[in-house]
Amino acid sequence: MMQRVVIKLLVIIAFFTHIHGNTIVNEKHFFEKDFQKALDGDVDAQFNIGLMYYEGVAIEKDLNQAFFWYKQAAENGSVEAQNNLGYMYEHGIGVDKNQTLAIQYYKMAASRDYGVAKLNLALYYEAKQSDKHMETALYWYKKAAEHNLIVAQNNLAKFYYFGNHVPLDYEKALYWYDKAAKSGDPLAQFNLGMMYYSGEGTEKNYDKALELLEKSAASGNIYAQSKLGEFYRAGTLVDQDYKIAMKYYQKAAKQGDNLSMYYIGYFYYYGHDVEKNTKEGIKWMHKAADNGYSHAKSFLERHGYK
């Protein structure tokens, strides 16, 4: 069964990398230069000043000033500023929460084909958790996904994979996971790999599944690391190798994966390709049990440990 993971991303103008190209420059003279331009009505400078005040870059953080300059830029047509005002209103950052104005500003930017605003609209409506709002969320996810926004592609795939408010459609889920995976997203790589493994929406392709899981795990995805640990432990798709299994389990355990903690404890307790160490094994079993993992609790009870 594929892990049900909903990515919730709080998006503010392409993750705050707009000032002077793709690098936020933390130097006072850039602020002073843009501030004068902003006073002269330059819309990009107005947005940059708003962003610098919002982030506290080159100037002390001031949400009131951020809001003021975003509003100036928004009124002059900046879709980035319109999106950011929507975000501030939605979450009550520097202003009182106002969902009506949040939607108004998001839609203002979205109407000018700004993908991040479309994604924020999708996230907003999905959070409402009602059939009516889910239809709207799906609409905006489709629009945002066309901009190659990974979050939109992943969440759209999720809708189709689980049949959430749409007919279950593995082929469409596969399509959108593939889009996100090709952009290097580890979660999409994991989900796509599992679909190739299970043959959902496509013929089973174990080589492709393994390749995608390895890419995902190398990028730090906990689910891929745990799954590869399972594969090497059980000899699924690969030759059984407890040492490699342990390597993947250790990576996933560092991120809090209880199954991996359990098997690390199991390997130490029984000496599976590691030096047998009962104390170390029980330590890892306790870690998993303390996190509520039932198999670890049962193991400790069976072996007389509290």
pLDDT at position 28 is 78
What is the pLDDT, as a whole number, of residue 156?
96
Neighbours of 259 (CB within 10 A): 18
Distance CA 159, CA 166 (A): 7
Of 9 and 90, the structure prediction assigns the larger pLDDT to 90
Instruction: Name the residue with tokens 């906990």.
Output: 222
pTM of this prediction?
Answer: 0.84
How much is the average pLDDT of 38-44?
Answer: 95
- Who's near 107: CB < 8 A, 6+ residues apart? 117, 121
Q: What is the DSSP letter of 96?
A: -
The reported pLDDT for the residue numbered 131 is 84
Residue 27 has what pLDDT? Answer: 65
Q: Could you report the per-residue pLDDT of 270-286, keeping only the tens digit for each?
A: 999 999 999 999 999 99
Render pLDDT for 153-170 as a digit per residue (tens, 0 to 9). Answer: 999 999 999 998 899 999
Query: Is residue 26 scored above 90 in pLDDT?
Result: no
Phi, psi of 148 (to 5 degrees): 60, 35
Tokens of 93: 């950052």
Please tell me which residue, 132 or 224, carries the higher pLDDT value.
224
Instruction: Assess whether pLDDT exceeds 60 at residue 3.
Output: no
Amino acid identity of residue 39, one-letter, is L
Residue closest to 232 by CA, chosen among 222, 223, 243? 243
Average pLDDT value for residue range 65-78: 97
**Mean pLDDT confidence for 85-96:** 96
Residue type present at position 3: Q
Range list of H helices, 94-204: 99-110, 115-126, 131-145, 150-162, 170-182, 186-198
pLDDT value, residue 33: 86
Query: For 257-268, what is each residue's pLDDT tens digit?
Result: 999 999 999 999
Residue-wise pLDDT for 211-249, tens only, equals: 999 999 999 999 999 999 999 999 999 999 999 999 999
- Which pLDDT score, from 0 to 100, does residue 208 have? 98
Return the percentage of the chain with pLDDT > 90, whole number. Answer: 85
Which amino acid does the sequence have at 184?
G
Cα(71)–Cα(166) distance, integer angstroms: 38
pLDDT at 13: 39
Whether the CB-CB separation of 169 and 187 falls below 8 Å is answered with: no
In the prediction, which pLDDT does 12 show? 41
- Rounded CA-CA distance 121/110 in Å is 9
